[in-house]
Structure 1
Amino acid sequence: MPSARIHTLLAVVLTLVLAGCGQTVTSTGDEQEIVADARALSGVDDVTVHYLDPDGEEHDGLPDDPTGWTLRLDIVHDVALSAGWAVEAIDELLADRPEPAAPRLEIWLNPVTPAEAEIAVRAYPLPATGDPVSDAYVFAGTPGVVRAVFDGETADVRVADEADLPKVADVAAVHGAGVDVVRTLDDTAELAVADVAPRPPYLPSGDGGGWPADPAAPACDPADLRLELTGSDAALGSRYLLLGATNTGAAPCAVQGHPSAGFRTLTEQLLAVAVVPSVAASAQAPRVVVPAGGRAVAMLDWNAMPTAGNPDLTYEVLVAAAPGGPVTELPLTSLVVEGGGTHAYVDIVDGGEVAVTEWRPDGASF
């Protein structure tokens, strides 16, 4: 297991450092081999050591008296190892390990993403509140993010394009991440997470059969529809994503037909994916009148696609309530299902085909 071998590497590093500090230690005698093995681990690209004085300045080594100094380990690894791996790795690194009084130990994780964003999180010691490790991995998988650094006290989340501020701040809000503000990399714009438009409360609609037809209800104004990813599932090689369109207006309005959908990578590149309506062109999709506060639903359906060695997976779905309508960018990290964890991507790739249903009343079966 990668974390077990990194555990051994950390033991060697601490052994050498403590020996330099004049403390009694026992050398394993195979330090170079262990370092080479650690750097050869699948997904772990590098492990580096930094010696920081009490003012945070870096040096080539520790002084005779390292009181107030910090030994910082930076572990660079593939982000595909995930936040779950990170937590297990840190737990194993620290298991049954008494930390010396000096130098102080810090462990940082630096996941490498397909977007080459700067992601760094201090994984040890952790702050008394919050979960910066999980937060860092959420932003590592969110399109538009170019920097996310969590040092245990502050969070610095940046995007390159001002247009990405709302969706990234929404991800921060829905995850309850320890981020107050999302900024552009050049500091020309920012958005406070507290100022993000809150998601409308979900009002369950039973079995989907109780909404009146109301032929007088107007077509929904796109500005009154809040589009979201609301769920996902998989079975027997099939994959599903559920879309929701909540009527945030004051009166009932109607949707009809199927939403449009597009798919983008972590670097926000559009994938060539054929989107096929589930309802035949000759069939008339029913008109769905959505009450104020109600939600219409649709589903994306595809067969599992090969992803081995392909970094260009779908990290973001582009959804419009109807073809030609305004598009909402929905990162996969914006989907939070209680007890279901967070998934940054799905296996929709170039050349794939995805079916999309028509809008239906919330609670209707697919």
Structure 2
Amino acid sequence: MPPLRRVLLLATASALVLAGCTPGPPDEIESAAEAVRALPGVADVAVTRTFGPEPVQGNFGQRSETRPSTVQVEVALAGALDPEGAGEAAGTAHRLLAGAARDVDENITVTSDFVGPGLTVSAGPDTAADVVVDAVEDGYGLLAAGATTVGLGLGADGGSDPLAATAHVAAASPDDLVDIAEAADELDRRVELEAPGARYRSAARVPDIDTVRLLVAAAGRPGVQDATYLAQERRLTLQSDAEPGAQSLADLRRWLEAQDFATADNPLAYTVLDAGYTETTGWVSGAEPAPRPTEPAGGATPWPDDDAAPNCTGQDLEVTLGVVDSAAGTRGVSVRARNVSGRPCAVESVPDLVFENEAGQPQGNVTVQPSDPGVVPTRVVVPDGEAVLAPLLWHTMSTANDPDTTTTIQVTPVPDADPVPLDATTDGTRATGLDILDGAEVRVGPWTQGD
């Protein structure tokens, strides 16, 4: 922010405070901001304060709680800094701001953004300073490798895991993504990559460079308008402008299946969409996944097998829904089934699911597919009191026009059991239902030992 604009903003804020209007940032934050502004490598600092809803009235007509507010501090780093210099400046600034934030009223939330040309790193007062330093250094390194923008949102858990934050990286061309991926691999930084017509979604991992190369090559094939790789599904999706039945679609599929890339033990699925959005699926390198049994969640020790254990019935199982998790344009949740029979019993199936809206009507055109085509249902003997789980995964869908969300999931846990209705909302209303809407594709896994 230019100095003159900052002076005018501060003067205006001061005038409003004197006039009895909205108060400005706390003195502790203003003082820390002035100290940060004087640091080498810092170009400017801007402080803004926003307020939440008005407090509610108490039982006796008095306000029962104070109005919460957020103080946002934006630290502009000098553009000519190298990664180490930028990291050092950001780390020192964060220590000053975090120290001041701990002294302000508990009803005030303080956040900090460290920005440079193309870079934004967001942190809370509890984020460790060394995590801020690493994030800023890595951001400058990714920009030097060809990124146009880099964004990182850091957790406020004290920074126990410097890799907990995923960098969201944009590039001007798909051809730049390989160099950026190589830089991320060298930095050991998790990234999501995006360029016009190409996206690499892998929030939980450092990028696989060979997969990025395949993505870039696929994005450059004739007629391909968009190429997306989803690591969580291990799937490459290509949108073509070719009409249904066109020779170029067959050529594209042959090219995918001719790549020397995937194996049965490490398969990669592909989906090709024509101009009419008709799907054709297959396997890169022609390598279909080798069938493999389910494995205990979290690498736990398998429960004992028992050939004499009977199959679980519906009455043997208490079925519940886990907490929804979101990442990289997908959502996931687990259906859980706890053995309440008083003895061991066995399951070996995929639960049957029906997704219903608030009126109790099934969502239309929902496609249910295996969460991992290579995994086959395995007989699991469930000890009394223990639970098995079945994972669900789907792509986020827009709820902007208030559609009929999924408020109930009817779960038939084992064959011949009665369906169990599970509330899929957080407060019983459609507004908090799941965005599994008409036309959704849901991937469901077989029952496996819970963690």
TM-score, with structure 1 as normaliser: 0.40
Higher Cα Rg, which structure:
2
